[in-house]
Homo-oligomer: A and B are copies of this chain.
Amino acid sequence: MENTSRSTRECSGKEGCDHVELAKRIINGNIRAASRLIRDLEDDVLQAKETLKHIYPHTGRAQVIGITGSPGAGKSTITDELVSAFREKENKVAVLAVDPSSPFSGGAILGDRIRMQRHASDPDVFIRSLATRGALGGLSNAVGSAIHILDAMGKDRILVETVGVGQQEVDVINHAHTVIVVLVPGMGDDIQAIKAGIMEVADIFVINKAHRDGTRRLQKELLSLLDLKGECPGEWKPPVILVDDVLNKDTFNENIATLCRTIEDHHQHLVRTRLLEKKLEKKAVVEILGVLRSSILGPIVKELQATGEFDDMVSRVMKRQNDPYTLVEEVKGNFLRNGKG
C-alpha cells in the first residue's frame, strides 16, 4: 500500500504536478502517481481532470469484476481469494473497495484493509478504498474515474467490492463487466436477494459459508427465482456457486477455481453476444452525464455560494417565503444563455 504524505498533494505548478508528467507515470504503472490522482479526484482538485484527459486514451483494456452482497456475506474473503487466483495467472490486479455506507467516517473501515494484508507487499496488487462523496459529482462518477486510472496503469483485472443494497451501489456495480453477488445462508429473510434488487444485476451468485444450515434452501430459492425470470435461447443464466472456507481447504480451492472459470465463461459470453459493447456504451452515457453534472452544475453552485445568493435562497425556503422551484427559476437566467437549457 502506498503511503504518500498528504502534504504533497497540493498542485502548485512545480515539477511533478504537471498533468502530462503525472499521466505518464500512471501509464507506467506508478502506484504513488495513481494514488495521488485518485486522492485528488476525491478531494475535487480541479487539475485532476486535466490528468484524466491524458490517461483516457490508455483505458478500456482491463476486465472489471464487481463483487457485491449484504454486509457480513463475506465479500472480502471472496475478493481476497480471487486476487490470489488471478495473481497465480500473473495477472496484474487492482481492488477498489467502495464503502459508501460510511459517508461520515470519510473512509473504509480498517477490517477490509487488514483482511487484504497478505497481498499488500505484492507490487502488482494495488488496493484502494474509496469512500468519497461529492454533493454533485457522485460516488459512481468517482468510482468510474478510479477504474480509468487503474486501467491506464495496466491492471488486467479490477475488482470492485461494494455493499449490495441501495441505488447508489447498483450505480457503482454497473461499472463492472461481470457482477458476482455473494449471499450467505440464514441472514434473516431469504428473500434478501430479491429485496436487495440484485437478481437483475447478478451474473454469478456465490453462496458463501455453504456449510451452514439453509444453504440448500437458499440455493433452491435462487434457482427457482431464476427459472421464474424465464430465459431466452443463448441468454446467460447466472450460475449459483457454493463456496465454503471453513470445512475443507481443498474443496474451498476448487470452489474458487470454479468461480474463476465461470467469470471467464461470462466474459466470453459478453464478447460473443456483443453485450460487452452495450455495457460499455451504457457506461459512457453514465460517465458523460456525471461530467456534465460536475462541470456545469458545480461552478454554478460555487458562484451562488460566493455571492451569498445561495444562503439567501436557503433562508427564503426555510421561512416558506418562496419555494425552491421559483427561486431556481429566478437565478437560472443568470447562468444560461437566452432561455436555453
Measured CB to CB, the residues of A under 8 A from B are: 49-50, 52-53, 56-57, 59-60, 70-73, 99-105, 109, 111, 133, 135-136, 139, 163, 165-170, 184, 187-189, 191-192, 194-197, 200-201, 277, 280-281, 284-285, 287-293, 295-297, 299-301, 303, 310, 313-314, 317-318, 320, 323-329, 332, 334-337, 340-341
Contacts and interface: CB of A to CB of B under 8 A. Distances in A.
B101 A335 contact: no
A292 B328 CA distance: 6
Contact of A188 (B49, B71, B336): B71
A324 B73 contact: no
A340 to B, nearest CB: 6
Contacts of A310: 285, 288
B101 A167 contact: yes
Contacts of A287: 317, 324
11 contacts: A56-B320, A57-B323, A70-B70, A99-B195, A105-B197, A166-B169, A284-B317, A295-B328, A296-B335, A296-B336, A300-B341
A176 B184 CA distance: 32
